[in-house]
Structure 1
Amino acid sequence: MTLAPYVKILARGQGRARGFTQAEADAAMTHMLAPDAAPEAVGAILMLLRMKGETAEEIAGFAAAVRRANRGAWTGARPALDWPSYAAGRTRGLPWFLLAARLVADAGVPVLLHGWNSHQDAAASVRAALPSIGLRPATTLEDSADQLARDGIAYLPLEVLSPRLMALLRLRDVLGLRSCVNTVCRMLNPAAATAAVQGVFHPSYRELQADAAQLLGLDRLTVLKGGGGEFEHHPAKDIVTFGLRSGQAWTGLTGQRMDAHRRLADAPSAPETLGHIWQGTVHDPFAEAIVLSTAALALETAGITHPEQAARDLWESRRRDVAA
C-alpha cells in the first residue's frame, strides 16, 4: 500500500498536476487512514491540497472513506440533526451554541454534537462548557448512543469517533498549518442524520461544504459563517446562509433578531455564565438572543415549522435544572 500515486497526481508539475476526483480522494484517504501510511506522503498530500485549495469532490471523497472505515460503529438510533464543532475551541467568547443545541434537543429533535477543539483545555472551551447543558464527552460510541437515547443530545469526541482521523488533524502541530482534515471532520455525519448544521470561519467554505454535502447525499443542511467558525449566529446581523433543502442547493438569510452594535465577544465571558443564564439567575438580552437565533436556524434546518416562535417557547419552558 503506497500513497505515491496520489502525491504524483497533485505534484507532477505545472500544467500536469491536477486535483483528485471523488473516487481518487476516497482511495487516498483510505490509504492515509491505514496505520502504516507513510507520514511523509500524508503530509505532502495535505499540504499540496492546502496550496491548491480543496474541491467539493475531494472533501466528499475523503469523508466517504472515513465513514466507510467507521461503518457499523454506530449502533444506536439515528439523530435528527448532526452538529459538528471543529473550530478553534472558542466562539469569540463562550460557546453559546451549546445552549441552542440543548433547546433543539428539547424540541424533540435528537442532536449529535461531535468535535475536537484546539483550545479544549481552556476554561471557556466547548468541552469545559458541556456541563452547562447537562452533558459530558462520551467515552465510547456506545456511550454516545446511550446519551442520545436518554437525553436527546450527545457529544462525541473525535478521538473516540476516529482516532486515526484525529491523528491526521493533529498534524497541524507538526506542519504548522491547517489542513483540509478540518473540513472533512465537519462532513462526517457519523450517525447518518438526515439534516446538519455547520459553521465556517472563512466565507469561501460555505459553498464548498454545501457542495460536498450534496455529493454525499445529505437532505438538509445550513452552513453559517458563525462565531469563531462554529454554527452560532450573531443576532444583530442578517447573514447569508448556504446549504441544501431536499438535497438541492439552497441559500437563505438569517434575519436580524435585534438592533445592537456589539460583537459576540461583548457577551458575558465568565464560563459559569452559561449555566447561570440557562438557570435564569443571570439575564443578558444579547446572550439570550445569540442562543435563540442560533436555535431557530437549527430548528428550521431540522424541518420544524415556525422555528423562531418554537425557540422562544422552548426558552421560556426550559428545564432549568439541566445545567450542572
Structure 2
Amino acid sequence: MHTRVRAPRSGGRRGPAHEAHQRGLELRLHGARIRLPLPARELRPVVLHHGEVGPARHGRKIGSRGGGNQATQPVVAFDKTRFFGVRLAGPETPSPVPAPSHPEPSALRKAIAALADHRSLGEHETAAAFGVVMRGEATPAEIAALLMGLRVKGETADEVAGAARALRQAMIPVEVDGASLVDTCGTGGGAVSTFNISTAAAFVAAGAGAVVAKHGNRSFTSKCGSADVLEALGVSISMDAAEAARVLREACVTFLFAPNFHPAIKHAAPVRRELAISTVLNLVGPLANPARVRRQVIGVADRDRAPLMAAALARLGTEHALVVHARVGMDEISPLGVTDVWEVRGAVVSTWELDAVRFGLGSRDVTALAGVDPAGNAARIERLLADGRDDPDGHAAVVLNAGAAIYVAGLSPTYSDGVARAQSALRSGDGHQALERLRRATSTSESRPRPHPAP
C-alpha cells in the first residue's frame, strides 16, 4: 500500500482501502462502471477527495468490486493518493460547458425589425427576406408585417429591386432569348378603369415586327384582366414553359399566365387578399417576366411609385424600357392630357412628357376608354384590330401604347416613328394577323396530350 494511503482503525477489521488494494476498485461515474485495477505502474497523480475524482467534480461513489465492502459515504479515509496503470480522470481543466444555443433570426425577422425602426432595407436584405416568403417558410403574420412595414415606410428602389429578384429566383423560367423580346403590362389599380389597351397594343406591336412575351394575370383591381380578355378572344392561357416557348417561335407572340410561372407567390396570396391594398408585390409582378425580357413598357397607376419602378428596372439589367403614368389616372399612355414617361436605358433614367395631341391622336373624353366585362372588351379589341375606324378613342389609345412597345423593341429610332409604325400595322391588318397566329398556336397546344406524372 502506498505510504500516503491509510486505512481507518477498525479493530482489526480491514477497511475499504485494503479491500480496494487487494480486489480492485469500481468507479461509478455518471452511471458508468469502470474497473480500476491495482497495483499499477506509472501514471500521474489523481486526486480523490470526499468521493470525488480529478478536480473534485466528477466522482460519485467508490466501492469494492463484487458487492463486498462498499463505501456508501465519501471515502474520507482517502486523503490524497496515487493510482497507477489506469487513468481515472482526464485533464485537470474541466471541459467547457457549451452555452445554450439560440436560433439565429431569419432574414425575414431581421427585415421586419429594421422596418419597425423605420429603417430602409438594402437590395440583398430585401431579396433574402422575400426569399423566405417565396419558400413558404413565413407565417401570415410575418408576411403581413413585411408588406405593411414597406408600405407604411414607403418602398425604396432597392427594396423593389430586391423583391423582384426574389420573385425571379423562385419563378419557372421560359427558356428563350429574352434580349429581343418586349412586354407590355401595367400594375393595375388606376383611377380610370379602361379596356385592355396594353393587350391590344401587344398584338399591334407583334404585327409591326416585335417579338412579344406578354406577361399577365386575371383581374384583381378592374373588371377584366389580360388573362380574362385573352380567354374571351379564344386564346388558351394554360401553357407551361415549353409550350409558351413553342408558341412564341411559331406566332412571334405568346402569353405567360402569371400563376403558371410564379407558384411561389401563392404563399402570400391569402395575406394580400385580406390586406386588400396595393403593396410592393403589385410592383414586382411586371418586373418578373418569366421570359426574362429586358425591353418593356410598364404602366403605373400611382405616380409616386413610377420613379421607383424606373430605378428598379435600372438595377435589374434592363436594356430599354418606358415607365408611364397618365395624369388622368391611367396606367397606360393616354390619348387625353399628358402622360409622364420615365425612360430607362441600361442604368440611366431620363424623364419626359408625352402629349397625344402632338401626334394627332388626342381624345376629349376619357370615359370613352372605359372597360366592361371580358366578352365586351374582347369584342372591342377584335373590332379595333380588324378596322378600328368606328372607335377613334380606342384606336388612339392602342396606337400610342403600341408605338412605345415598337420603340423599346428597337424597331424604331424614336417614339414618334414607333407610333407611325403602329398606325401602319393597325391599318394593314397585321395586328389582327398576330392575334390569329396566337389563336392557332395555342389551339394546337390545347390539342396536344399532356404527359401524366409517373406513379
TM-score range, shorter chain: 0.7 to 0.9
Q: Confirm or deny: 8 A CA contact 2:196 2:371 kept in the other structure.
A: no
Q: Which residue of 1 aligns with 2:125?
A: 24
Q: Confirm or deny: 8 A CA contact 1:89 1:117 kept in the other structure.
A: no
* Cα deviation 1:258-311 (Å, max 9, x = unaligned): 343210545685332221222238721111111111111221122222212211
Residue 262 (1) aligns with residue 369 (2): no
Structure 2: runs of 5+ lacking an equivalent:
1-104, 440-455
Q: 1:117 to 1:154 in 2, by over 3 A?
A: same
**Partner Cα distance (1:76, 1:215) in 2:** 22
Letter in 1 for 2:115: L
Question: How many residue pairs align between the two structures?
Answer: 317
Aligned partner of 1:314 among 418, 425, 431: 425
Q: Give the CA deviation at 1:115.
A: 2.1
Aligned partner of 2:320 among 196, 220, 224: 220
**Partner Cα distance (1:7, 1:281) in 2:** 51
Aligned partner of 2:229 among 129, 142, 145: 129
Give the SS at the match of 1:104.
helix
The 10-residue stretch of structure 1 (129-138 or 203-212) with the greater mean CA deviation from structure 2: 129-138
**Partner Cα distance (1:142, 1:91) in 2:** 36
Structure 1: runs of 5+ lacking an equivalent:
none
After TM superposition, what 4+ stretches of structure 1 lie above 6 angstroms from structure 2? Answer: none
**Partner Cα distance (1:268, 1:57) in 2:** 34
Aligned partner of 1:289 among 392, 396, 403: 396
Residue 64 (1) aligns with residue 175 (2): no
Q: Give the CA deviation at 1:116.
A: 2.2
Letter in 1 for 2:335: P
Q: Which residue of 1 aligns with 2:198?
A: 97
Q: Give the CA deviation at 1:38.
A: 2.0
Q: Confirm or deny: 8 A CA contact 2:216 2:227 kept in the other structure.
A: no
Q: Give the CA deviation at 1:119.
A: 4.2
Matches within 5 A, 1:26-45: 26-45=127-146
Q: Give the CA deviation at 1:35.
A: 1.9
Letter in 2 for 1:308: V
Letter in 1 for 2:393: F
Q: Give the CA deviation at 1:177.
A: 2.3
Q: Give the CA deviation at 1:74.
A: 2.1
Q: Which residue of 2 aligns with 1:10?
A: 115
Q: Confirm or deny: 8 A CA contact 1:210 1:244 kept in the other structure.
A: yes
**Partner Cα distance (1:89, 1:236) in 2:** 15
Letter in 2 for 1:316: R
Under a length normalisation based on structure 1, what TM-score does the superposition of the two structures give? 0.87
Q: Which residue of 1 aligns with 2:279?
A: 179
Give the SS at the match of 1:239.
strand
Q: Confirm or deny: 8 A CA contact 1:120 1:127 kept in the other structure.
A: no
Q: Give the CA deviation at 1:214.
A: 0.8
**Partner Cα distance (2:368, 2:268) in 1:** 31
**Partner Cα distance (2:367, 2:110) in 1:** 46
Q: 1:309 to 1:170 in 2, by over 3 A?
A: farther
Q: Confirm or deny: 8 A CA contact 2:217 2:225 kept in the other structure.
A: no
* Cα deviation 1:44-76 (Å, max 9, x = unaligned): 1111111101100001111112212237x3223
**Partner Cα distance (1:42, 1:176) in 2:** 14
**Partner Cα distance (2:267, 2:189) in 1:** 17
Larger RCO, structures 1/2 (Cα 8 Å, 6+ apart): 1
Matches within 5 A, 1:101-180: 101-119=202-220, 122=223, 124-130=224-230, 135-180=235-280
**Partner Cα distance (2:242, 2:192) in 1:** 29
Q: Confirm or deny: 8 A CA contact 2:183 2:212 kept in the other structure.
A: yes
Letter in 2 for 1:314: A
Q: Which residue of 2 aligns with 1:304?
A: 411
**Partner Cα distance (1:280, 1:84) in 2:** 23
Q: 1:76 to 1:228 in 2, by over 3 A?
A: farther
Identity over aligned pairs, percent? 24
Q: Which residue of 2 aligns with 1:275?
A: 382
* Cα deviation 1:11-37 (Å, max 9, x = unaligned): 1x4xxx401111101111111111232
Q: Confirm or deny: 8 A CA contact 2:219 2:225 kept in the other structure.
A: no
Q: Give the CA deviation at 1:169.
A: 4.5
**Partner Cα distance (1:100, 1:295) in 2:** 4
Q: 1:86 to 1:65 in 2, by over 3 A?
A: same
